[in-house]
Structure 1
């Protein structure tokens, strides 16, 4: 790798970053130039690996204006061996004060698509070589106006009385099933969406629905119609049997408000939740594999 040059960008070099063809154009993403204009991407948080003047690796860390956390690696592309990508990450991590999380965005069903695997193997291997730890996989799903299924009508729904009622139900739900944007809430706002959704979702309580069985709460759904996309932001159950009807109700609320698309994020291992999302009309848009810095060993 003696002919390899690794360096950050300087202002005005957006075209250098974009000179590397996008290896996964089917993924929705913010263009690098747009991210620079919006302040989330910065030249000093963007690194390239050049070989004979050609970009063979690029990495852009994202930190939206006003964020309280550290920048995370949002875009990492590699047209070289994994060792080149690892070297790029090592140099950048040193300049950034240490490794940060990497949110590796991948097309839906990526493991079954050889053409995608050929693209993503190298950067993911480079992340591991650089010491990042591969963690959970999360799937982003999208409903785009397909007719909602008919439900049995076993449950009734109402809006919460106030924020205190939402918080009380959240405290009873140990493991929410859908948390859309949980990584961004933590990185940008320092908020745990699972335990403090109202710390991130600033809309009115009318965006929430409580599912009732004989008058007793059995589920809670939080929507956000005015985010970057209309979101099913939170879905938590006290009785799994309510899942299908509460999903339909949450999408119905957003559709009644004019949403033509609804986004929901779910952990890939939640097979039953994914199946219910699909029955409701959701389809997978993308996957995201989360790499995190290693946890320091405890000292005695």
Structure 2
């Protein structure tokens, strides 16, 4: 590390709030400014015990903000990682901050580190430089799997996609959805699904998916199973919410029915469910390599809002 002073990494306290607010960022990545920091602290999505500071000789040289649900006992994602631009090796300080957080939150389950950039800036050298040291720190800090995802959004003012005329939608039980989560894993283009199956198997994936999506805000009764008019099941939808907006959380087409464009029918149904419930904004993400899903979002009136680099274990 740079300099002769040793690095100290510690969680913040309320007395650090003013210092935390002084941070700014000239790099072309999304970061948390003073206003958002105060809002998230007030909501409980950020907390001092989830916020870590790196110091040399009592001078702050790094800040890590972990985000969690307001009713949670531990965070889910590293939301913002900043290092003083005067540091020659920011990856060293960033690694120390990540490891400190991971050690403290190791029982929190599947932690992630997210870095957002504007899609139009994705080939800019300043973007790649900002991503490189963060990725190096992520990997050294134990986040060994990196995925590029594209984020989309649409509003109630955008034209609604057409209602499906070839599928029928109905409620389903947890057992039915558990079976479907497992069934759609075969041939999936989603990196998390493929990684989970390879490491833990289809049954574990299905149970984990059911538990995770059941834990999200939103109405469980909005989940629906899609069938053709002859009663043949072709897929399912899981519309939920994140902490801020209505979300396209999960849709799946059974392997034997792929290639027939059913993804458009499923996404259209999810959009209509959310807007019919009064939601003004709907968001969704997909892996950059999942071209069919990207096309479906665009066809359903969604616009690209950002690229998200997801570092996970």
Under TM normalisation by the shorter chain, which class is it?
0.7 to 0.9
How far apart are the structure 2 equivalents of 1:114 and 1:282? 28
Kindly state the Cα deviation for residue 28 of structure 1 after the two structures are TM-superposed.
8.2
Tell me what 2:203 maps to. none
| Residue number in structure 1 paired with 2:199 | none
Tell me if the contact between 1:229 and 1:261 (Cα under 8 Å) persists in the aligned partners: yes
Q: What's 1:285 paired with?
A: 305
1:221 shift after superposition:
1.1
Deviates more, 1:278-287 or 1:219-228: 219-228
Q: What TM-score do you get using the length of structure 1 for normalisation? A: 0.75
1:148 equivalenced with 2:160 (yes/no): yes
CA pair 24-215 structure 1, distance change in 2 beyond 3 A: farther
Contact 2:114 2:308 in 1 (8 A): yes
1:103 alignment partner, one of 113, 119, 134: 113
C-alpha contact 1:19 1:55 (8 A) present in aligned 2: no
Say if 1:243 and 1:102 are closer, same or farther in 2 by CA, change over 3 A. Answer: closer
Q: Quickly say closer, same or farther: Cα 1:290–1:47, change in 2 above 3 A.
A: same
Q: Which digits, 9 at most, give the CA deviation of each residue in 1:78-121, with x for residues without a partner? A: 23322232344445555666998342221242532344334333
Distance 2:282 2:271 in 1: 7
Kindly state the Cα deviation for residue 200 of structure 1 after the two structures are TM-superposed: 2.1
Is 2:83 the partner of 1:83? no
CA distance in 2, matches of 1:42, 1:163: 34
Match of 2:8 in 1: 6
The separation in 2 between residues aligned to 1:249 and 1:91, in whole angstroms, is 43
Residue in structure 1 matched with residue 239 of structure 2 by the alignment:
223
CA contact (8 A) 2:217 2:241 kept: no
Match of 2:143 in 1: 132
When residues 45 and 258 of structure 1 are mapped into structure 2, their CA distance, relative to the original with a 3 A threshold, is: closer
Tell me the CA shift for residue 47 of structure 1.
2.1
How many pairs does the alignment contain? 283
User: Hey, what's the Cα distance between the residues in 2 that align with 1:198 and 1:64?
Assistant: 14
CA distance in 2, matches of 1:160, 1:20: 48
CA drift of 1:289 comes to 2.7
Distance 2:242 2:311 in 1: 29
Q: How does 1:16-165 map to 2 (within 5 A)?
A: 16-23=19-26, 27=30, 31-50=36-55, 55-64=60-69, 66-67=71-72, 72-78=77-83, 79=85, 80=87, 81=89, 82-90=91-99, 93=102, 101-109=111-119, 111-145=122-156, 146-150=158-162, 153-160=164-171, 162-163=173-174, 165=176
Q: List runs of 5+ in structure 1 lacking aligned partners.
A: 180-190, 294-300
> Where does 1:251-262 land on structure 2 (aligned, <5 Å)?
251-262=271-282
What corresponds to 2:201 in structure 1? none
Corresponding residue for 1:187? none
Q: Is the Cα contact below 8 Å between 2:31 and 2:80 reproduced in 1?
A: no
